[in-house]
Amino acid sequence: MARGSRSVSSGSSKWRYCNPAYYLKRPKRLAMLFIVFVSVSFVVWDRQTLVREYQVEVAELQKEITDLHNLLEESNKVHGGTVRKLDLKGKTNKSTKEVLDDPIDIQRREKVKDAMLHAWSSYEKYAWGQDELQPQSKSGVNSFGGLGATLIDSLDTLYIMGLDEQFQKARDWVANSLDFNKDYEASVFETTIRVVGGLLSTYDLSGDKIFLDKARDIADRLLPAWNTPTGIPYNIINLSQGRAHNPGWTGGESILADSGTEQLEFIALSQRTGDPKYQQKVENVITVLNKTFPDDGLLPIYINPHSGTTGYSPITFGAMGDSFYEYLLKVWVQGNKTPAVKLYRDMWEKSMKGLLSLIRKSTPSSFTYICEKSGGSLTDKMDELACFAPGMIALGSSGYGPDDSQKFMSLAEELAWTCYNFYQSTPTKLAGENYFFHSGEDMSVGTSWNILRPETVESLFYLWRLTGNKTYQDWGWNIFQAFEKNSRIESGYVGLKDVNTGVKDNMMQSFFLAETLKYLYLLFSPSSVIPLDEWVFNTEAHPLRIVTRNEAEPVKNSNEKQKSFPRIGGRKEGRSG
């Protein structure tokens, strides 16, 4: 029975307590009733508030459980070694400082996306399927043997930017037209970082098995390069015949960066396929080098593939040395920083001790820079290529104790300021290829071309992600505007023959789409897009999924427990084009 329908006799002794007149004649009872009423009201109100808060918490927990359940279902839907792609636009990153998306970031990101569309549509119109576009002559050139380098380098950039139509067309070309059976003398290094890395990254992002199959095909063609007495690879191989050798200009020696910058890609390939041979080849190189690894962790750029010894040659964090040090750190990150990959971290920390011995400051402005070393003497010269180092140092700083962590992060920030000024110091606001530091003169351009390189923007990306300091975004935006002003033409983007005069060259390097524009786009994206605790970038900016490695655990197909794929809508040796 409803409460309001209860019948009450007017003559009942209880009725008087329901009559207001009874209380008006008895003020003490009225006051007591008021106090009781207020007390009960507060209790009821407080209880209702608690109930509402509890209901909100329960709803949020239920949503999290549902989301986790959906993620689990997606990750378990394995079909023929692939996983269905998953859109995680709203995913947050727990390990890096979260920066909210704001209108300025959105506007800048869209401008970068427009630049990518311009570069891509120009390539599509004038050089489709060829390695690189020559924008001035509106023609293509096969500078990598006709492997579609720009197309493959661009796949993950298109995917991350949500350019679905362009991505699908490129995917179909890979499936139907990409052929590696070429009588071509390929650089093992360049083919690995661009082609193997690009295909594996796109596989990790999309879950489309065609990319894994193609990555395995080209990797199998590269493997004979490691068939040397020491296992240190030759740097050139004929893709159809499997004959490997080193370039004549090295005197038969292998190049440090070229020989130590395949680990991320080949380890990832073994993890994705369950075949250990790729990982074994590239990890043996590190084992050999570690046997005679110096206390300062600095190696000359030439290594004898027959003896494993290093001869008299320069030591540099620039061309031909740089990405060897980068991969020591990143293999440790790739393995999720477990004891199984601690050797890489230990070697990297030795190399950072050596790097500190190369640090100098300019006068009068105290720009921090990294010298090059020949024998016992230092040269006050720094490549723009070495501007990857601030990002690398920042990424590795968290693996130290508090004091060293702060010391290396401060060093990273100082070096990034120098690299930014490589750009700001020229009339075009674009950096030259290398710089010299003379006493009392700070920095001066040496080789004055700019070929659309990404290294400084790469470091700004890492520093922004790891510090949340929006100054790095502003610096990146200034660099992007300089590219727009000086390098954008009607038929794509070109480099500059001279950053002082602004005279243009005739080459749109594939890494402009793979690295420069990708890092700029991510610089203005939330840190939940390709979070650094789930992905590691190869030296061509291709993100590879982090897979935890354990001691004495055989390689197995990591697709059995593959994670989700976040998405929103060497450093090269130097070619002047």
C-alpha angle with apex 118: 114 to 124, nearest 5 degrees? 135
Active-site annotation holds for 132: no
**Tokens matching residue 106:** 């959105």
Residue type, 570: G
Question: Residue 69: is it exposed, middle or buried by C-beta count within 10 angstroms (0-12/13-18/19+)?
Answer: exposed
Q: Which secondary-structure segment (H or E) carries 82?
A: strand 82-83
Backbone angles phi, psi at 133, to 5 degrees: -95, 135
Q: What is the DSSP letter of 140?
A: E
Is the Cβ–Cβ distance between 19 and 26 less than 8 Å? no
Q: Which long-range contacts (CB under 8 A, 24 or more apart) does 432-435 make?
A: 432/384, 432/499, 433/383, 433/384, 433/385, 433/574, 433/576, 434/318, 434/381, 434/382, 434/383, 434/384, 435/369, 435/381, 435/382, 435/384
98 is catalytic: no
CA distance 224 to 226: 5
Point out the catalytic residue in the list 131, 132, 190, 458. Answer: 190
CA 91 centroid distance within chain: 17
Say whether 190 is catalytic: yes
> Nearest CA to 180 among 133, 225, 128, 216?
216
Q: Is 330 exposed, middle or buried (0-12, 13-18, 19+ CB in 10 A)?
A: buried
- At residue 382, φ and ψ (nearest 5 deg) are -140, 125
Angle between helix axes 263-273 and 277-291 (nearest 10 degrees) is 150
Between β-strands 442-445 and 434-438, what pairing exists: parallel, antiparallel or unpaired?
Answer: antiparallel
Q: 131, 204, 283, 322: which is the annotated catalytic residue? A: 322
DSSP string spanning 494-541?
Answer: --BS-TTT--B-S-B-HHIIIIIHHHHHHHTS-TTSS-TTTEEE-TTS
Q: From the annotation, which residues make up the binding site? A: 539
Q: Residues forming the annotated binding site for Ca(2+)?
A: 539
Supply the residues annotated as catalytic: 190, 322, 433, 455
